[in-house]
Amino acid sequence: MTVLVSRPAEHVAVVTLNRPDSLNSVTHELLTDLGRAFAGLDADRDVRAIVLAGAGRGFCAGLDLRAPGRPPNSDDLGEVPYKFRFQRAFSALVESMHALRPALVAAVHGPAVGAGLALALACDTRVAGPGARFGVGPVRIGLSGADVGISYHLPRAVGTTLAFEMMLTGRIIDAREADARGLVLRVVDDPLAGAVEVAAAIAANAPFALWTTRDVMLANVDAPSLRHAVVQEDRAQVLVSLTADSREGRQAFAERRTAKYQDG
């Protein structure tokens, strides 16, 4: 399997890209396996947060240019239709990550370049190791740097000034700069353990409250006005306040005990 799933903590799953011999470079098989892993965890009501990690020496070094693989029923396609189908499969996966119910935390060590950067950016936040490196690789080999969500996510994470430089030059930034510019939440010696810690802190909260918070946050990144944003927030807050978990949370706070949420 090109993707592995483990459960290191209560309500937390780790999805690991498992092509270590190629620095977890992306193939069609990996995209398919990753999509299935996300779908399975999304359907599991016990999972509240997912950590995305890479096996071996790095997170993900980008697209496997030597053997990307072909989508099913594509052997008779010409080069342009085939490449478009592959591109669309990847971009659809990135879009689907926003639609997941659990929160997403990337644990980045080594390179997160090109496709790897796209996957890390599609997560809600990122924890990096000291040797993590981030970059937009395609522009340095004659391809567009605007790829599978990077041109959407990167400016929102670091601002347009640095995003334009990274996308137009292909410059790689290290963990220290990524931390200083807000691309990562923090830099720690063990990024997987650090990401699991963040995921566990997220997963300690009520499932429906988490889902609505994440859903509204993702929607309001693109809100055209404050009015549009607060309308989304008002509806979500009223819905959440009427749940059993909300009542349990408030009662637990009053009684100074840990809440026991049941996704109700």
Question: Is residue 48 within 8 Å of 207, Cβ to Cβ?
Answer: yes
Strand partners, 13: 50
The token pair at 115 is: 């496709």
How much is the pLDDT for 69? Answer: 60
SS3 state of residue 49: strand
How much is the pLDDT for 75? Answer: 65
The token pair at 264 is: 């109700």
Question: Is residue 93 within 8 Å of 34, Cβ to Cβ?
Answer: yes
Stretches in the chain below the pLDDT threshold 70: 68-77, 264
Closest CA relative to residue 34, chosen from 15, 21, 60: 15
pLDDT in tens, 121-172: 999 999 999 999 999 988 888 888 899 999 999 999 999 999 999 999 999 9
How much is the pLDDT for 71? Answer: 57
**What letter would DSSP give residue 26?**
B
Tokens 């996966």 sit at which residue? 93
How much is the pLDDT for 163? Answer: 98
How much is the pLDDT for 98? Answer: 96
